[in-house]
Amino acid sequence: MTPAPAPAYVPAPPPHVRILVCDDHTVVRAGLLALLGSAPDIEVVGEAGTGEEAVALAAKLTPDVALMDLQLGPGIDGVEATRRISATGVRVLVLTTYDTDADITRAIEAGATGYLLKAERPEELFAAIHAAAQGRTTLSPPVASRVMAQMRSPRPTLTDRERDILGQLAHGLGNREIARALFISEATVKTHLGRIYDKLGVDTRAGAVAVAKEQRLLP
């Protein structure tokens, strides 16, 4: 893990961290730039307003850490950007508003090094950036709690097909309509629905839609 043998007792040779800021909200991004500019050991080397920009800039600038919002308007979303950027070896520190189970799980699976909420204190953000630069992970307390809870009782994992049915269901379609929309028989729709109810812990279509919207299981 230590490619170059460090001389004795030099805890952090380069306390200087180069970061890339990605947030689709211009005001927020400008705010972050102004805020991070006040930290002498942090240098913002680039900023992106979309996932595509972030991926391109991360590859070009190879920052120590990419600060990534999960919510990124149109184009590829924060999760996908996180996946691609972290695949290149650049650490990704997620900084977002959402503490939903689904978002957290997907971000972690995508390779995020840390997951911070925007409600966090700025000092925590600074600390997390340095931590991420060294590969250490930082989680906001609420996020940590949810991660723990999730380990204990894993989230309902819907299959692709089940998500298809759920998507149609959320449009208020009946079984026959769903069947026609997906080119399958009505019986198959009912079979899938039954399993969806099981996994979501409900027993009605309306309940399934409510849970799906609640846990952001649909696009």
What does each C-alpha distance from 15 to 11, 18, 40, 127, 131 come to in angstroms? 9, 10, 10, 11, 11
204 binds DNA (CB under 7 A): yes
Choose which of 188, 210, 215, 218 interacts with DNA (CB under 7 A). 188
173 binds a second copy (CB under 8 A): yes
CA distance 144 to 138: 9
From the list DNA, a second copy, none, which binds 62 (C-beta under 5 to 8 Å, kind-based)?
none
Choose which of 17, 32, 93, 217 interacts with a second copy (CB under 8 A). 32
From the list DNA, a second copy, none, which binds 182 (C-beta under 5 to 8 Å, kind-based)?
DNA
φ and ψ of 75, to 5 deg: 80, -165
Choose which of 155, 171, 176, 190 interacts with a second copy (CB under 8 A). 171
Encoding tokens for residue 98? 């959402």
Size of interface with DNA, in residues (CB under 7 A): 23
Encoding tokens for residue 201? 């812990």
Q: What is the DSSP letter of 27?
A: H
- Are the C-beta atoms of 175 and 186 separated by less than 8 Å? yes
205 binds DNA (CB under 7 A): yes
Burial of 84 (0-12, 13-18, 19+ CB in 10 A): buried
Binding to DNA (CB under 7 A) within 32-91 occurs at none
Dihedral (CA of 70, 75, 80, 85) sign: negative
Residue 180: CB minimum distance to DNA, A: 11
175 binds DNA (CB under 7 A): yes
Query: Cβ–Cβ contacts within 10 Å for residue 69, how many?
Result: 26
φ and ψ of 73, to 5 deg: 30, -140
Residue 79: CB minimum distance to DNA, A: 21
Residue 217: CB minimum distance to DNA, A: 14
Cβ closer to a second copy: 56 or 218?
218
Residue 199: enclosing H or E segment and its boundaries?
helix 186-200
Chain positions contacting DNA, by CB under 7 A: 157, 159-162, 174-176, 182, 184-188, 190-194, 197, 203-205
Please give the residue ranges that form the binding site for a second copy (CB under 8 A): 24-28, 30-32, 34-35, 37-38, 71, 73, 95, 97, 116-122, 125, 169-174, 202-211, 213-214
